[in-house]
Structure 1
Amino acid sequence: MVASRSSLSRQLQDYRLTTAEILYHMPDHPGLLQTYVWQELDLAPRFPVLRRFLDFWSSNLDGRLHSVRVAHLDLVCPGRMRHVDALMSLQ
Protein backbone atom coordinates (compact mmCIF):
# COMPACT_ATOMS: atom_id res chain seq x y z
CA MET A 1 0.00 0.00 0.00
CA VAL A 2 2.95 2.35 0.55
CA ALA A 3 3.84 2.11 -3.15
CA SER A 4 0.38 3.32 -4.19
CA ARG A 5 0.62 6.35 -1.90
CA SER A 6 4.01 7.11 -3.37
CA SER A 7 2.57 6.74 -6.86
CA LEU A 8 -0.32 9.06 -6.03
CA SER A 9 1.97 11.68 -4.52
CA ARG A 10 4.16 11.58 -7.64
CA GLN A 11 1.08 11.98 -9.85
CA LEU A 12 0.06 15.01 -7.80
CA GLN A 13 3.51 16.43 -8.59
CA ASP A 14 2.69 16.25 -12.35
CA TYR A 15 4.25 12.84 -13.01
CA ARG A 16 2.26 11.05 -15.71
CA LEU A 17 2.10 7.46 -16.90
CA THR A 18 4.66 7.31 -19.69
CA THR A 19 5.04 4.46 -22.15
CA ALA A 20 8.01 4.17 -24.49
CA GLU A 21 8.27 1.76 -27.39
CA ILE A 22 11.99 1.17 -27.85
CA LEU A 23 13.29 -0.33 -31.07
CA TYR A 24 16.84 -1.65 -30.88
CA HIS A 25 19.24 -3.64 -33.03
CA MET A 26 19.71 -7.21 -31.85
CA PRO A 27 23.36 -7.66 -30.75
CA ASP A 28 23.90 -10.95 -32.65
CA HIS A 29 21.96 -9.85 -35.75
CA PRO A 30 22.32 -6.05 -36.16
CA GLY A 31 20.08 -6.08 -39.25
CA LEU A 32 17.10 -7.20 -37.14
CA LEU A 33 15.11 -4.92 -34.83
CA GLN A 34 13.57 -5.98 -31.53
CA THR A 35 10.89 -4.10 -29.56
CA TYR A 36 10.98 -3.35 -25.83
CA VAL A 37 8.09 -1.59 -24.06
CA TRP A 38 8.97 0.54 -21.02
CA GLN A 39 6.36 2.07 -18.69
CA GLU A 40 6.87 4.31 -15.66
CA LEU A 41 5.66 7.55 -14.10
CA ASP A 42 7.65 10.44 -15.60
CA LEU A 43 7.58 14.21 -16.13
CA ALA A 44 6.66 15.45 -19.61
CA PRO A 45 8.12 16.98 -21.76
CA ARG A 46 11.69 16.37 -20.53
CA PHE A 47 11.12 12.78 -19.35
CA PRO A 48 14.06 12.56 -16.88
CA VAL A 49 13.25 8.98 -15.75
CA LEU A 50 13.13 7.72 -19.34
CA ARG A 51 16.34 9.58 -20.21
CA ARG A 52 18.15 7.92 -17.27
CA PHE A 53 16.90 4.53 -18.45
CA LEU A 54 18.03 5.18 -22.04
CA ASP A 55 21.45 6.42 -20.79
CA PHE A 56 21.77 3.21 -18.77
CA TRP A 57 20.77 1.19 -21.85
CA SER A 58 23.31 2.92 -24.10
CA SER A 59 26.21 2.48 -21.69
CA ASN A 60 25.48 -1.02 -20.31
CA LEU A 61 23.54 -3.06 -22.88
CA ASP A 62 24.72 -4.43 -26.22
CA GLY A 63 21.63 -3.69 -28.33
CA ARG A 64 22.16 -0.34 -30.07
CA LEU A 65 19.07 1.90 -29.95
CA HIS A 66 17.26 2.50 -33.22
CA SER A 67 14.29 4.65 -32.17
CA VAL A 68 12.07 5.51 -29.21
CA ARG A 69 8.38 6.41 -29.44
CA VAL A 70 6.86 8.02 -26.34
CA ALA A 71 3.26 8.49 -25.16
CA HIS A 72 2.02 9.83 -21.83
CA LEU A 73 -1.33 10.01 -20.09
CA ASP A 74 -2.80 11.97 -17.18
CA LEU A 75 -4.08 9.47 -14.61
CA VAL A 76 -5.11 12.05 -12.05
CA CYS A 77 -7.17 14.87 -13.53
CA PRO A 78 -9.97 17.16 -12.40
CA GLY A 79 -13.46 15.73 -12.29
CA ARG A 80 -15.81 16.38 -15.18
CA MET A 81 -19.23 17.91 -14.82
CA ARG A 82 -22.18 17.24 -17.11
CA HIS A 83 -25.60 18.85 -17.19
CA VAL A 84 -28.54 16.51 -16.70
CA ASP A 85 -31.54 16.93 -19.00
CA ALA A 86 -34.00 14.93 -16.88
CA LEU A 87 -34.35 13.71 -13.33
CA MET A 88 -36.51 10.66 -12.58
CA SER A 89 -37.24 8.91 -9.32
CA LEU A 90 -38.34 5.34 -8.84
CA GLN A 91 -40.25 4.25 -5.78
Structure 2
Amino acid sequence: MQESETELMLKGYGLTTAEFFYHMPDYAHVLNTFIWQDYDLAPDHPRLFEFIEFWHDEIEGPLHSVRFTHRKMISPGEWRNVVGEFRYH
Protein backbone atom coordinates (compact mmCIF):
# COMPACT_ATOMS: atom_id res chain seq x y z
CA MET A 1 0.00 0.00 0.00
CA GLN A 2 1.40 3.36 -1.05
CA GLU A 3 1.43 6.17 1.48
CA SER A 4 -0.51 9.35 0.76
CA GLU A 5 1.24 12.66 0.10
CA THR A 6 0.10 13.97 3.48
CA GLU A 7 1.55 10.94 5.31
CA LEU A 8 4.86 11.42 3.50
CA MET A 9 4.98 15.13 4.37
CA LEU A 10 4.28 14.36 8.03
CA LYS A 11 7.26 11.98 7.98
CA GLY A 12 9.56 14.77 6.76
CA TYR A 13 9.39 14.24 3.01
CA GLY A 14 9.31 17.23 0.70
CA LEU A 15 8.61 17.71 -2.99
CA THR A 16 11.75 17.29 -5.11
CA THR A 17 11.69 18.55 -8.68
CA ALA A 18 14.58 17.63 -10.97
CA GLU A 19 15.37 18.76 -14.50
CA PHE A 20 17.46 16.25 -16.42
CA PHE A 21 19.55 17.40 -19.37
CA TYR A 22 20.49 14.49 -21.61
CA HIS A 23 21.98 13.82 -25.03
CA MET A 24 19.67 12.45 -27.69
CA PRO A 25 20.78 8.89 -28.56
CA ASP A 26 20.87 9.48 -32.34
CA TYR A 27 22.07 13.11 -32.17
CA ALA A 28 24.92 13.34 -29.67
CA HIS A 29 25.20 17.14 -29.91
CA VAL A 30 21.53 17.76 -29.12
CA LEU A 31 20.46 18.25 -25.50
CA ASN A 32 16.92 17.52 -24.40
CA THR A 33 15.24 17.96 -21.01
CA PHE A 34 13.04 15.81 -18.80
CA ILE A 35 11.23 16.97 -15.64
CA TRP A 36 10.84 14.54 -12.71
CA GLN A 37 8.96 15.07 -9.43
CA ASP A 38 8.54 12.92 -6.35
CA TYR A 39 8.42 13.20 -2.59
CA ASP A 40 11.90 12.66 -1.19
CA LEU A 41 13.99 13.09 1.96
CA ALA A 42 16.62 15.83 2.04
CA PRO A 43 19.60 15.99 2.19
CA ASP A 44 20.26 12.43 0.92
CA HIS A 45 17.49 12.31 -1.74
CA PRO A 46 17.32 8.49 -2.01
CA ARG A 47 14.46 8.47 -4.55
CA LEU A 48 16.18 10.98 -6.83
CA PHE A 49 19.43 9.00 -6.83
CA GLU A 50 17.48 5.77 -7.39
CA PHE A 51 15.91 7.37 -10.47
CA ILE A 52 19.32 8.58 -11.69
CA GLU A 53 20.64 5.01 -11.37
CA PHE A 54 17.59 3.72 -13.27
CA TRP A 55 18.22 6.29 -16.02
CA HIS A 56 21.87 5.31 -16.24
CA ASP A 57 21.03 1.58 -16.46
CA GLU A 58 17.89 1.62 -18.64
CA ILE A 59 17.68 4.80 -20.76
CA GLU A 60 19.77 5.19 -23.92
CA GLY A 61 20.20 8.97 -23.69
CA PRO A 62 23.32 9.68 -21.60
CA LEU A 63 22.87 12.32 -18.90
CA HIS A 64 24.61 15.65 -19.29
CA SER A 65 23.52 17.21 -15.99
CA VAL A 66 20.76 17.28 -13.38
CA ARG A 67 19.40 20.37 -11.66
CA PHE A 68 17.00 19.95 -8.73
CA THR A 69 15.20 21.76 -5.96
CA HIS A 70 13.56 20.51 -2.77
CA ARG A 71 10.70 22.10 -0.85
CA LYS A 72 9.15 20.92 2.41
CA MET A 73 5.44 21.55 2.15
CA ILE A 74 4.74 21.32 5.87
CA SER A 75 6.98 23.51 7.98
CA PRO A 76 6.78 25.43 11.24
CA GLY A 77 4.54 28.47 11.16
CA GLU A 78 6.07 31.82 10.45
CA TRP A 79 5.81 34.45 13.18
CA ARG A 80 5.97 38.14 12.40
CA ASN A 81 5.86 41.06 14.80
CA VAL A 82 3.22 43.41 13.39
CA VAL A 83 3.45 47.03 14.45
CA GLY A 84 0.27 48.90 13.62
CA GLU A 85 -3.15 47.99 12.42
CA PHE A 86 -5.29 49.01 9.48
CA ARG A 87 -9.05 48.99 9.88
CA TYR A 88 -11.58 49.11 7.10
CA HIS A 89 -15.26 49.55 7.85
Give the structure-2-normalised TM-score. Answer: 0.84
Query: What RMSD in Å do the two structures reach over aligned CA positions?
Result: 2.0
Matches within 5 A, 1:4-23: 6-23=4-21
Matches within 5 A, 1:1-91: 6-86=4-84
After alignment, is 61-70 or 74-83 more displaced?
74-83
User: Which runs of 5 or more residues in structure 2 are unaligned?
Assistant: none
Whole-angstrom CA distance in 2 between matches of 1:12 and 1:52: 22
Larger helix proportion, structure 1 or 2?
A: 1
Whole-angstrom CA distance in 2 between matches of 1:52 and 1:71: 16
Q: When the two structures are aligned, how many residues end up with a matched partner? A: 88
What secondary structure does 1:49 align onto? helix
Pairwise CA distance, 1:8: 1.1
